[in-house]
Structure 1
Amino acid sequence: MPQKRKGCKLFVFDLIAPWLLVAAMLYMLRRLERWLHQHIFKVGWLVTKQLQTTTILFYAFFLPGIVLHEFTYWLVAGLLNVRADRALEWPKKQEVAELKLNFVRLTPKTGAIRLAIITISPFIVGVLLIWLIANTIINIQEAAASLQSGFLTDVSQMVSRLTATPDFWLWIYLIFTIGNTLSPSNPEHLRGWQRLLPVAGVILLVLIFLGAADEVLVNALASLNATVNSLSGTLGVIIVVDLFMVAILGTVEAIIERITGHSATYKDGKLITMRRSELMAQRAAEMKKGRAPQKAARAAPAGPPSVYRFALPIPGAPGKEAISRADDRIIAPQEKPLPSPLAPTPGRDAPAVISGAAAPKPDETPPDKDDPH
């Protein structure tokens, strides 16, 4: 019995671990992509000092990835019989370092499921293309097999073997541009996949009813795990290339800032230009501000908490007691005064009364009985 439980735990771990690894890689890839977009845009501004020129160069640098992304988007939309209009426009000046991949626009009548399939298609095609480049052209798996011993000589041999590939740096550039344009233009369009979950549940129930669920699930999970492992390997290649570009881009950016004396930073996603000295002073102020809570924490008395360490208020001498004040930061509810028994009930309006005196009636004398009239 314990062996069955242990085997079940191992099976669950083997099933979940690849997905957790892919999720962590996607998160890391997204962070790297954002950093690279911002600093490539920043380097473009440091060189040109014009936002319009920087925007054009920014889009031109990622042109292979943009073309693949938009072409796949348009092609899959046509395969699903969804109207897709081309909106090819010259990139407008922007202060935000992000690629606006909206060169192909769909009709508003597109269904949620078809919209989700179209949105995820550039990611799938991009990952497949990078996998083909990495495993059939550069042969990363064969080069990585030489690292089993772990010696530095093996590392140098692997690097020399990789760089000996014809047009190696061109393939690295393609991997970089395609890998950093994989993100969907609008993640909200992926919500259509939620509608497929009930369908998958119904299919699973039918398989269980027919008694073929175990065999189908084992085969499906084996194929799915193989796909997830290939996906994690491809994402790992993109992350390694991105880290390599981070090192190069950081060095180039630092050199340009030292030579020109100009710099820039991002606030709320927008590029803010300034002098390098101003940026250094701003960073120093932020570091000083961040150290203040640490100094306050160090000044706190060490040891276990005790009631004798509380700063309790000490009353003054008779007649000189301190006046207590309410905390201005807390808005206390206002107390409603109690109504007086003689006062009218609040919330009930008194009837309107017209002031004035009544007019007197004229005196009428009763007629005499002897009067013939």
Structure 2
Amino acid sequence: MALPNLGLGLWLLACLALLGWLQSRIARHVQLILLLAIRNEHAALLAFQLLFLPGVALHEASHWIVARLLGMRDLEISLWPQRQRDGSVRLGYVKTERMNLARAAFVGTAPLVAGIVLVSVISERLGLNRLWTAAAAAETIQVRALLAEFWQRPDLWLWIYLLFACSNTMLPSASDRRALPAAAALLGSLMLGGYLLGMLALVRTALGGVAWSLASAASVAMGITILLDLLLLPVLYLLEALLWRLRGGQLLRA
């Protein structure tokens, strides 16, 4: 997508906002479907955890690895689900020592970076990046050929499942989001320092191509995730409505 720098930045922010909304909708409807199907709150919570386990493991492992690389010790990691007081579900956590601004920024944003990398790798393996490019260029013949190749993959549904589980758990959690102001402050400080030292233009020239490539890859990865979720949501709505009718409007066993 040939977007200017500002346009690409705004596109990424819009993707993040939409992904946040879609992730909350997906989680809510999947939880309801499992609860209606199993009719036991604890068993449904465990099933929800198992469904998203690859993504949860990636999310918490990225926290843990970055924290260790930054020299933090006495880390505690858990992949056991817990329902919070507000009704939300915490699928896992990593407890760390108190962090300064820079460490909080790196640790808090690690799952998003790891998730985007994994989505990009899976998309490349499935040929979704080529399909995205061909569709953006309106190359109808190429799109048809790539779609035919896509549906013929023997391991297609395994990769789609991993894409679903990991992409819908890569966004920062409520506790992670507390590090986002720190990340913005760190980036702003670096840019201000570069400007004051007269190095901003030099850095932009040296790293501009790399930054553009990374941002473009992130935009495609998030675009593919958004498309997958938008295709899945109607299926979840229909399945949930069907289960409500079958259960006579009762969520749990009487």
Superposition TM-score tier, normalisation by shorter sequence: 0.7 to 0.9
1:139 aligns with 2:130: no
One-letter amino acid matched to 2:116: V
Which residue in 1 is equivalent to 2:234? Answer: 247
Alignment counterpart, residue 197 of structure 1, candidates 188, 197, 209:
188
Which residue in 2 is equivalent to 1:47? Answer: 37
1:59 aligns with 2:46: no
Q: CA RMSD in A?
A: 2.7
Which residue in 1 is equivalent to 2:28? Answer: 38
How far off is 1:87 after superposition? 4.4
Q: Structure 1 or 2: larger helix share?
A: 2
Asked if 2 retains the 8 angstrom alpha-carbon contact of 1:62 and 1:177, the reply is yes
Aligned residues: 247
Q: Counterparts of 1:154 and 1:251 in 2: how far apart (Å)?
A: 33
How far off is 1:203 after superposition? 2.2
Alignment counterpart, residue 81 of structure 2, candidates 70, 78, 91:
91
Which residue in 2 is equivalent to 1:233? Answer: 220
Taking a change above 3 Å as real, the CA distance of residues 86 and 220 of structure 1, as seen in their structure-2 partners, is same
How far off is 1:97 after superposition? 4.4
The 5-angstrom pairing of residues 326-345 of structure 1 reads none
Q: Counterparts of 1:217 and 1:178 in 2: how far apart (Å)?
A: 32
TM-score under structure 1 length normalisation? 0.60
Which residue in 2 is equivalent to 1:269? Answer: none
1:69 aligns with 2:53: no
How far off is 1:127 after superposition? 0.5
Taking a change above 3 Å as real, the CA distance of residues 154 and 252 of structure 1, as seen in their structure-2 partners, is farther
Secondary structure of 1:207 counterpart: coil
How far off is 1:48 after superposition? 1.6
Which residue in 2 is equivalent to 1:256? Answer: 243
How far off is 1:189 after superposition? 2.2
Asked if 1 retains the 8 angstrom alpha-carbon contact of 2:82 and 2:91, the reply is no
Q: Counterparts of 1:221 and 1:89 in 2: how far apart (Å)?
A: 38
How far off is 1:132 after superposition? 1.0
Q: Counterparts of 2:43 and 2:162 in 1: how far apart (Å)?
A: 23
Asked if 1 retains the 8 angstrom alpha-carbon contact of 2:83 and 2:90, the reply is no
Alignment counterpart, residue 18 of structure 1, candidates 8, 15, 25:
8
Q: Counterparts of 1:146 and 1:110 in 2: how far apart (Å)?
A: 45
Alignment counterpart, residue 176 of structure 1, candidates 149, 164, 169:
164
Q: Which runs of no fewer than 5 residues in structure 2 stay unpaired?
A: none
Taking a change above 3 Å as real, the CA distance of residues 42 and 73 of structure 1, as seen in their structure-2 partners, is same
Taking a change above 3 Å as real, the CA distance of residues 60 and 114 of structure 1, as seen in their structure-2 partners, is same
The 5-angstrom pairing of residues 311-322 of structure 1 reads none
One-letter amino acid matched to 1:175: L
Asked if 2 retains the 8 angstrom alpha-carbon contact of 1:38 and 1:97, the reply is no
Which residue in 2 is equivalent to 1:221? Answer: 208
Which structure carries more relative contact order (alpha carbon 8 Å, separation 6+)?
Answer: 2
The 5-angstrom pairing of residues 151-166 of structure 1 reads 157-166=145-154
Q: Deviations over 1:154-186 (max 9, x none)?
A: 765443321222311111111111111112231
Q: Counterparts of 1:243 and 1:231 in 2: how far apart (Å)?
A: 18
Q: Counterparts of 1:145 and 1:233 in 2: how far apart (Å)?
A: 9
How far off is 1:206 after superposition? 1.7
Q: Which runs of no fewer than 5 residues in structure 1 stay unpaired?
A: 1-12, 265-272, 275-373
Percent of pairs with identical residues: 24
Asked if 1 retains the 8 angstrom alpha-carbon contact of 2:35 and 2:44, the reply is yes
Taking a change above 3 Å as real, the CA distance of residues 146 and 20 of structure 1, as seen in their structure-2 partners, is closer
Larger gyration radius, structure 1 or structure 2: 1
Asked if 2 retains the 8 angstrom alpha-carbon contact of 1:112 and 1:191, the reply is no
